[in-house]
Amino acid sequence: APAVVSEADLFLRLCPAPTIGITGTEGKTTTASLTAALLAADSSHPVVLGGNIGTPLVERLWELTPNHRVVIELSELQLPTLSRGTTVAVYTNVTADHLDRHGSLDAYRRVKRRLAELLPAEGTLVLNADDPVVAEYASLAAGRTVMYGLGALRSGGVGVVDDWITADSGGRVMPLSELRIPGRHNVSNALAAVSVALLFGVAPESVRRAAGEFRGVEHRLEEVATIDGVRFVNDSQGTQPDAVIAALRAFEPPVVLIAGGRDKGVDLGELPSVVAERAAAAVVIGESGPALGERFADAGLRRVERAETLDAAVELAEAIARATRHDDGIATVLLSPAAASFDMFVDYAERGRAFKAAVARRAAARTGTAE
Do residues 330 and 231 lie in contact, with contact meaning Cβ atoms separated by under 8 Å? yes
Q: Please identify, among 213, 244, 264, the residue that sits at the C-terminal boundary of a domain.
A: 213
pLDDT in tens, 185-196: 999 999 999 999
Question: Does 256 share its domain with 314?
Answer: yes
The answer to whether residue 371 is domain-embedded is: no
% residues pLDDT > 90 (the chain): 73
Residue 67 falls inside a structural domain: yes
Domain count, the chain: 2
Examine the pLDDT at 233 and tell me if it is beyond 50: yes
Residue 188 maps to which CATH number?
Answer: 3.40.1190.10
Q: Is the pTM of this model over 0.85?
A: no
- Domain containing 301: what range? 222-365
Chain segment 261-286, per-residue pLDDT in tens: 999 888 999 999 999 999 999 999 99
SS3 state at 127: strand
pLDDT at 370: 43
For residues 196 and 270, membership in a common domain is answered with no
Give residue 359's pLDDT band: very low, low, confident or very high (50, 70, 90): very high
Question: Domain ends where: 164, 190, 213?
Answer: 213
Of 174, 191, 213, the position where a domain reaches its end is 213
Q: What is the CA radius of gyration of the chain?
A: 21
Which residues pair with residue 124 across a beta bridge? 88, 144
Q: Do both 283 and 340 map to the same domain?
A: yes
For residue 54, what pLDDT is reported?
62
Residues 231 and 182 in one domain: no
Q: Is 7 exposed, middle or buried (0-12, 13-18, 19+ CB in 10 A)?
A: middle
pLDDT tens-place string over residues 157-203: 999 999 999 999 879 999 999 999 988 999 999 999 999 999 999 99
Question: What is the chain's mean pLDDT, rounded?
Answer: 91
- pLDDT score recorded for residue 96: 62
Range in 94-108, 213-227, 342-356 with the lowest mean pLDDT: 94-108
370 domain-assigned = no
pLDDT (tens digit, 9 = 90+) per residue, 35-74?
Answer: 999 999 999 999 999 886 666 788 889 999 999 999 999 9
Domain co-membership, 172 together with 231: no
pLDDT score of 371: 44
3-state secondary structure 218-257: CCCCEEEEEECCEEEEECCCCCCHHHHHHHHHCCCCCEEE
Q: Is the peptide bond before 254 cis (omega within 30 degrees of 0)?
A: yes
**One domain, residues 95 and 124:** yes
User: Are 155 and 226 within one domain?
Assistant: no
Among 36, 79, 83, 77, smallest CA distance to 55 is for 36
Quick check: 250 pLDDT over 70? yes
- 174 lies in some domain: yes
* Whether residue 170 is found in the same domain as residue 286: no
Say yes or no: 190 and 247 in one domain.
no
Residue 367's pLDDT is 59
Query: 308 with 237, same domain?
Result: yes
pLDDT at residue 100 in the model: 61
pLDDT beyond 90 at 300: yes
The mean pLDDT value for 32-37 works out to: 96
Please choose, from the candidates 278, 270, 209, the residue with its C-alpha nearest in 3D space to the C-alpha of residue 247: 278
| C-alpha span between 75 and 371 (Å, rounded) | 36
CATH of the domain at 290: 3.90.190.20
User: How high is the pLDDT of residue 140?
Assistant: 86
Same domain? 286 vs 246: yes
Please, are residues 198 and 204 in contact by the beta-carbon 8 Å criterion? yes
Question: pLDDT tier at 4 (50, 70, 90 boundaries)?
Answer: confident
What pLDDT is attached to residue 55? Answer: 63
pLDDT of residue 107: 73
User: Is residue 2 one of the residues assigned to a domain?
Assistant: no
If one counts every other C-beta atom within 10 angstroms of the C-beta of residue 23, the result is 31
Question: Percent of the chain scored above 70 by pLDDT?
Answer: 94
Q: Which 3 state secondary structure label does DSSP give 177?
A: helix
CA 76 → CA 115, 195, 276, distances in Å?
10, 23, 32
| Least confident stretch, 93-97, 119-123, 266-270, 284-288 | 93-97
DSSP-assigned letters across all residues of 284-345: E-STTHHHHHHHHHHTT-S-EEE-SSHHHHHHHHHHHHHHH--TTS-EEEEE--SSBSTTTS
Amino acid at 59: E
